[in-house]
Amino acid sequence: MTVQKTVLIIDDDESHLLTAKGIIEGLGFRVVMHNSPFRTTETVLKTKPDMLLIDVNMPALPGDQLCSLLRDEPELTSLPIYLYSSNDEDILRESAVKYQADGYICKGSISALRAKVQFELGFS
């Protein structure tokens, strides 16, 4: 039996946490939610996710900067990290490159969310 793959979502907005969780669970993956930019390294190392979604607009520490901080962790250099945000797509595209994310997903684009998750994790 294969181990169920896990997606970790970091977002301070309950609505977006729950919608992403429901949709990703619908694909057959496990979802862990974390609702602030703090203590994320700890959560990531403990959860050992197969993919990470990070919201950008969060109190105190923007998700894009958080992304590059996580990227500096030796254990996380190859973890697929996506910015998950309502910001303008052009800005997201630039931020993803600048902060070493693997890509971005626009909130509200459910087909993109499913496609990116399946691209990284395959079909469960």
Partner 1 sequence: MTYDSEQMTPKISDLISYGEAISPDTLVSVLSERFYNEPELDALPIVKDGYPYGLATRSKILTTLAIRFGFALYGKKPISVIADMTPMIVHIDESLNGVLDKAMARDFNDIYDEILVVDDEDKYVGRLSVKRLVVEQGNYLASSIAQRELAIARAKEMEKLDAVKTSFMAHITHELRSPIGAIIGFSELLQMRHNDGKRDDVPKYLSLLSSNAQNLRAIVNNILDLSKIEAGRMEIHSEEFSLCELLAEVLETCKVLAGDKPLQIEIDCPDPSIKLQADRIKTRQILLNLASNAVKYSDRGIIVISAEVTDQLHLAVKDTGIGIKKENLERLFTAFDQLEDAKTRRFEGTGLGLTITRQLIQLLGGAISVESTYGVGSRFDVSLPCTTKPKLKVAS
Binding site for partner 1 (CB under 8 A): 13-16, 18-20, 22-23, 26, 56-62, 85-88, 91, 106-110
CB 100 within 8 A of CB 68: yes
Cβ nearer to partner 1, comparing 97 with 110: 110
Beta partners for residue 34, in sequence order: 10
| Residue 87 Cβ vs partner 1, minimum distance, rounded to whole Å | 5
- How many whole angstroms separate alpha carbon 15 and alpha carbon 100? 26
Q: What are phi and psi of 36, to 5 degrees?
A: -155, 165
Cβ nearer to partner 1, comparing 46 with 86: 86
| Residue 119 Cβ vs partner 1, minimum distance, rounded to whole Å | 19
Cβ nearer to partner 1, comparing 77 with 86: 86
| Residue 100 Cβ vs partner 1, minimum distance, rounded to whole Å | 17
- How many whole angstroms separate alpha carbon 92 and alpha carbon 4? 29
| Residue 72 Cβ vs partner 1, minimum distance, rounded to whole Å | 20
Task: State which H helix or E strand residue 120 sits in.
Answer: helix 110-121
